[in-house]
Structure 1
Amino acid sequence: MNEYLDIVLRSLAVYAFMLTAIRLTGKKELSQLNTTDVVLILLISNAVQNAMVGTNTSLLGGLLAAAVLFSLNYMLKKVMFRNKMIRDLLTEKPEILIHNGNLDFAMLSKLGITNEELREAIREHGIEKYKDVKLAIMEADGNISIISGDDKLKHTQYKRKRHHKTLGDLN
């Protein structure tokens, strides 16, 4: 097989694998990377580099692999924009955490959101108690949006830092 066609096919396979792996592991919080996430990304990039370019360590081989990845990403975004089924398959959905002061404990547990994270999110919006939250939503990008129903309070997004191991007491 042509050496450069091999790089294209390998890059395509790695891209598809990484996209699937991220989707299956539910990485909603990619916008808030912590130290372990950065280390993981660096190690993964190093691990898959040879899988993409094989023995070709030339400048052209590296640039070709990068061009394939950029092209695939561009095409996938275009397809997702035009095709709702593909978009729904590949993107996370926003999840309601609090509705009219009532916490959805099952959803909080499923998403691994701790009491401390939720309290921090609502405090950042000037809200003291869960019962004063009209709507709290875990957005597709991992942010927690809070709507208080009070027009005087600002409505911004809480940048979620990271999952914790335990749910804690959500009172």
Structure 2
Amino acid sequence: MKTFDLQRMALNDVPLDFLWEVALRSLYTFILVFLFLKITGRRGVRQMSLFEVLIILTLGSAAGDVAFYHDVPMLPVLIVFVTLGLLYRLVMWLMSHSEKLENLLEGKPSVLIEEGEFAWEKMKSQNMTEFEFFMELRLVGVEHLGQVRLAILETNGQISVYFFPDKLVRPGLPILPEPCCERFIKVPEDADYACIHCSEVVTLNTGDETPCPRCEHKFWVKACTATRVT
């Protein structure tokens, strides 16, 4: 086989006219995926559960094959879409009658913040880094965890945030990027400090090198008390 053969790389053994068929096949699969999304009533991936994303990935695989490979017939792909559409409807019906099945396929919402601090045991079980989590909170205007009464990780990956009123905001862990928040092992002055690992807030005195009583990590940042700007 000749390397860097432009003819092979561009068309391989199919004729140039096959490109018109690729365009038709792509339109065909686009319409099938569009109709499937209309049937499910979803407007975007962020509204989808894990089960629904799995269905879409399976459809995408079938759609890609029929669009690009000349020896993949179009009718069987239609049967794949119809079958998955019926499966989706059946599973939705079963989940509406079985909470256990719904929890298995959709998962459960998880509380990540309670009363201005990480719900530590629940947070450890989630497959999410603190960088992702803090980014999501910053996008809704959170500066520190003391502003947040409750944060819930929904089954579609989005985070629902419920805030304290301004007069009830408490000292909390700042969630700004690291260059914006100086870290200390030995604290420089009397103040409230937040553990950067678990968000526990404690009052420390000048020169203290106390590890966190909650998780035993030793790095602190000054707790923030800013209210939200709305």
- Change in CA separation of 1:118 and 1:150 when aligned onto 2, cut-off 3 Å: farther
8 Å CA contact 1:98–1:104 kept in 2: the answer is yes
8 Å CA contact 1:114–1:170 kept in 2: the answer is no
Residue 32 of structure 1: CA displacement? Answer: 8.6
- Name 2:124's counterpart in structure 1: 109
- Change in CA separation of 1:84 and 1:72 when aligned onto 2, cut-off 3 Å: same
2:152 is the counterpart of 1:120 = no
1:45 corresponds to which of 39, 43, 61: 61
Residue 141 of structure 1: CA displacement? Answer: 0.7
Paired residues for 1:51-70 under 5 Å: 57-70=72-85
Paired residues for 1:69-84 under 5 Å: 69-84=84-99
RMSD: 3.4
Residue 72 of structure 1: CA displacement? Answer: 0.9
Divergent runs of 4+, >4 A: none
Q: Counterpart of 1:102 in structure 2: which amino acid?
A: E
Residue 74 of structure 1: CA displacement? Answer: 1.2
Specify every segment of 5 or more residues in structure 1 that has no aligned partner in the other structure, as ranges.
1-29, 51-55, 152-167
Q: Counterpart of 2:61 in structure 1: which amino acid?
A: S
1 or 2 for the larger relative contact order (CA 8 Å, sep ≥6)? 1
TM-score, length of structure 2 as denominator length: 0.41
Partner-residue secondary structure (3-state), 2:88: helix
8 Å CA contact 1:108–1:114 kept in 2: the answer is no
2:147 is the counterpart of 1:132 = yes
CA deviation vs aligned residue, 1:95-114 (integer Å, no higher than 9, x gap): 01000012123333321322
CA deviation vs aligned residue, 1:67-105 (integer Å, no higher than 9, x gap): 111111111112212332322232210001000012123
Residue 123 of structure 1: CA displacement? Answer: 2.4
Specify every segment of 5 or more residues in structure 2 that has no aligned partner in the other structure, as ranges.
1-44, 167-195, 200-230
2:162 is the counterpart of 1:147 = yes
Q: Counterpart of 1:78 in structure 2: which amino acid?
A: W
Q: Counterpart of 1:142 in structure 2: which amino acid?
A: G
**Higher percent of residues as helix:** 1
Measured in 1, the distance between the counterparts of 2:61 and 2:88 equals 16
Q: Counterpart of 2:135 in structure 1: which amino acid?
A: E
Partner-residue secondary structure (3-state), 2:111: strand
Q: Counterpart of 1:128 in structure 2: which amino acid?
A: E
Partner-residue secondary structure (3-state), 2:125: helix
CA deviation vs aligned residue, 1:9-34 (integer Å, no higher than 9, x gap): xxxxxxxxxxxxxxxxxxxxx6399x
- Name 1:93's counterpart in structure 2: 108
Q: Indicate the percent of aligned positions where both proteins have the same amino acid.
A: 25
Measured in 2, the distance between the counterparts of 1:100 and 1:115 equals 18
Aligned length: 113
TM-score, length of structure 1 as denominator length: 0.53
